Amino acid sequence: MQKTKNTKGYYFLAGAIALLAISAGFIWLRPKPFFGTVLQSTNPAFDFALTADSGKTVRLSDYKGKVVLLYFGYTFCPDVCPATLANAGQAIRSLGQKGEEVQLIMISVDPARDTPEKLAKYVAHFHPSFIGITGTDDQISEAAALYGVYYQKHEGTEATGYLVDHTATLMAVDKEGYLKLLIPFGATVEEIASDLKNMLK
């Protein structure tokens, strides 16, 4: 009788261990969560047509097949823009060859001061592949509105002149052209890199 009880206990323990192993396997196989906010876009991202250096027109659709990081900022930004672009640049470098499948595009919210040439020099400080683009006030306003980006001029100091408050989110468009992810300001190099790796799979 004792032997039967022990046998039943053995099978119960073995079954419990098997269930735990299966559960652990599912957790291990499950994709790692994104740091940024995942969007379930049903329509392709807005396809702007804005101007880069040398008068070249840049469209979002030009980069279909790559993960595109969109960032609205400006060259005179004292802290938020350089911090975000620096982290994005380091994150892309950390991906090695896979980084060639990522394209960052910065859209200026200060077209009065940011010429295409000035933007090109500015973004190149952070990564040689980065593109800076601008357009008319109406073009920038339309693009910003369609991407849910806020920006507003306000007075600075006598030395700085006006400054521009703006949404500081990195927006990630997937290879098929859908807005997939919003990466908040303050994301670390490792967090941005992890999200890009997940999108490139």
Q: What is the pLDDT of residue 20?
A: 44
Q: How far apart are CA 100 and CA 165, in angstroms?
A: 31
Position 5 pLDDT exceeds 80: no
The ranges assigned to domains in the chain are 1-30, 37-200
CATH class of 37-200: alpha beta
Position 59 pLDDT exceeds 60: yes
If you search the block for the tokens 């980069």, which residue do you land on? 63
Exposure letters 20-36 (e unless 16+ CB within 10 A, then b) = eeeeeeeeeeeeeebbb
DSSP per-residue letters across 140-188: HHHHHHHTT--EEEE---TTT--EEEE---EEEE-TTS-EEEEE-TT--
pLDDT in tens, 126-178: 999 999 999 999 999 999 999 999 999 988 777 778 999 999 999 999 999 99
